[in-house]
Amino acid sequence: MTGKPAAITEPDLVAYVDDRLPSERRADVEAHLALNAEDAARVAAWQQQADDLRVHFDRDLNEPVPAEMAALFAQRPSMPGPLLRMAAVLALVLLGAGAGWYGRGVFAPVEIVAALPQEATRAHLVYSREVLHPVEVTAKEEQHLVAWLSKRLGTALKVPSLSGQGFGLVGGRLLPASSGNHAAAQFMYENRQGQRLTLYVRSGEGGGDTSFRFTGEGNAVAFYWVEDGFGYALTGETGREALLPAARAVYEQLTR
Amino acid sequence: MLFRRPPHPIEAEIPRLRRFALALARDRETADDLVQDCVTRALAAWATRHGDDAALRPWLFTILHNRWRTRQQREWARPDRVSLEDAGEGPEISGGQWEALELRDLDTALAKLSEEQRAVLLLVGVEGLSYEETARVQGVPIGTVMSRLARARDRLRSLMDGEPPQTSESGGRTHLRRVK
């Protein structure tokens, strides 16, 4: 309690009520309120009011969402049912591998699986550097994109969200897979720095399921796994530590 | 293997968007129309959105607020329409339990604030947005947010209290039908 605090202003009182003052300034305000009955009454009224408003407005949160709003999120069955209803999910994210990464011998222990991160990386390297046509169908037509790729891969595809990691969906494309007549899908994501991830999903994985695996060197890394005959991979130039949260988000959304 | 789509992140925000829209519009139908508009636009812009989850809510609020602004400008361009602000006299109080009266009274008082004052009270005090985020949603400097908050709180206080401070304990409940 030595020295006089800087004059308390109205914004100080506002921020005090909202509990957004640094503790030092907070103490100054409290000292001021102890000596100034008018401001103290004002602040007390504001605080009571804030509590009342929270109670008042929180009632609104319990109202059911109207059907027409929920409908904005419903997946429209834009293609005949059976394929969609077969319902498997397919997804893989491949993060931008460095130009020098492709070709290095950093692949998985199981041979069938081995080509998965390799193919995903190859596709990533080709398309993530594309400026004009990174995808065939943009995220603006997400319903169409998902329906189309679902049909071609023979499974109900779901595009995981990476918004929590700062990546928005750019769109996707159809690709050939290495074995037989199988197809692969690639979904591309981009963050505000222009960094791109691709999620690669491939049908026709012959081997059994695998766990969540990691491969890569330096910055160029990929997480991948196989489930129910589909291979998924997430790759990036972020290094393992930075990629892991995104990969985990994808994995959890697809296997939950 | 996953058989159902997880809810879209925007979907979880709908109750809060409706609440904000209602605070602006004071009319359920207009508010829901506004939310529908906002969500449609947000979904269309989703792919190009770059932000983390924490920024989602302010982003959506900003879209909604902008749509509201656009609507208001359209309304103002039509002289035959009474603005919601002017027409927004709260419902009559019909008596009943004190608690209900109190809530109604707050509702009535809120109706007398400007939409921007209601919005700032909701965004900062209830939604917990930072001053900076709130400034972005409303498209004004932070200083304006602060002074708007102070004015809104003082105005609401006088509306709820009748005459200025008058911090008379529970007796304060007698002046429910305050004019102005």
Domain boundaries, chain B: 7-74, 96-162
Band (A242; pLDDT cuts 50, 70, 90): confident
Q: Is the CB of residue B28 less than 8 Å away from at least one CB of chain A? A: no
How many whole angstroms separate alpha carbon A224 and alpha carbon A250?
A: 10
What pLDDT is stored for residue B22 in this prediction? Answer: 94
Assigned domain for A98 exists: no
Restricting to B residues 115-154, those with a Cβ less than 8 Å away from any Cβ of A are 121-122, 124-126, 130-131, 143, 146-147, 149-150, 153-154
Domains B7-74 and B96-162 belong to one CATH topology: no
Query: Is beta strand A220-227 parallel, antiparallel or unpaired with respect to A230-236?
Result: antiparallel
Q: In terms of domains, do A42 and A128 share one?
A: no
Model confidence pLDDT, tens digit, residues B122-150: 999 999 999 999 999 999 999 999 999 99
* Residues in CB range of A5: below 8 A, 6 or more apart: A27, A28, A31, A32
How many whole angstroms separate alpha carbon B10 and alpha carbon B17?
A: 10
Assigned domain for A193 exists: yes
How many whole angstroms separate alpha carbon A196 and alpha carbon A127?
A: 10
Assigned domain for A181 exists: yes
* B36 has pLDDT over 90: yes
Q: In terms of domains, do A146 and A208 share one?
A: yes
What pLDDT is stored for residue B93 in this prediction? Answer: 40
Q: How many domains would you assign to chain A?
A: 2
Residues of B in contact with A49 (CB under 8 A): 153, 156-157, 160
Which range has the worst mean pLDDT, A44-48, B93-97, B99-103, B161-165?
B93-97
Assigned CATH topology for domain B96-162: Arc Repressor Mutant, subunit A (1.10.10)
* Segments forming the whole domain that contains residue A159: 111-255
How many whole angstroms separate alpha carbon B87 and alpha carbon B71?
A: 16
What pLDDT is stored for residue A256 in this prediction? Answer: 60
Q: In terms of domains, do A21 and A130 share one?
A: no
What pLDDT is stored for residue A73 in this prediction? Answer: 83
Contacts 24+ apart (CB under 8 A), A177-184: A177/A119, A177/A202, A177/A203, A177/A204, A178/A115, A178/A119, A179/A204, A179/A206, A180/A204, A183/A152, A183/A153, A184/A119, A184/A123, A184/A153
How many whole angstroms separate alpha carbon A129 and alpha carbon A58?
A: 47
* A114 has pLDDT over 60: no
pTM: 0.51
Å between A143 CA and nearest CA of chain B = 11
Q: In terms of domains, do A184 and A251 share one?
A: yes
Q: What is the DSSP string of A119-178?
A: HHHHHHHHHTT-SS-S-SEEGGGHHHHHHHHHHHHTS------BGGGTBEEEEEEEEE-S
What pLDDT is stored for residue A93 in this prediction? Answer: 32
* B2 has pLDDT over 80: no
Q: In terms of domains, do A131 and A212 share one?
A: yes
* B68 has pLDDT over 70: yes
The CATH number covering residue A142 comes to 3.30.200.100
* Residues in CB range of B31: below 8 A, 6 or more apart: B18, B21, B22, B24, B25
How many whole angstroms separate alpha carbon A190 and alpha carbon A163?
A: 10
Instruction: Find out if CATH 1.10.1060 is the number for domain B7-74.
Output: no
Band (A126; pLDDT cuts 50, 70, 90): confident
What pLDDT is stored for residue B97 in this prediction? Answer: 47
* Residues in CB range of B65: below 8 A, 6 or more apart: B20, B24, B119, B137, B138, B139
Residue A93 φ/ψ, nearest 5 degrees: -115, 130
Token output for B144: 């304006």
* A86 has pLDDT over 70: no
Asked if the Cβ–Cβ distance from A72 to B143 is below 8 Å, we say: no
Residue A21 φ/ψ, nearest 5 degrees: -100, 145
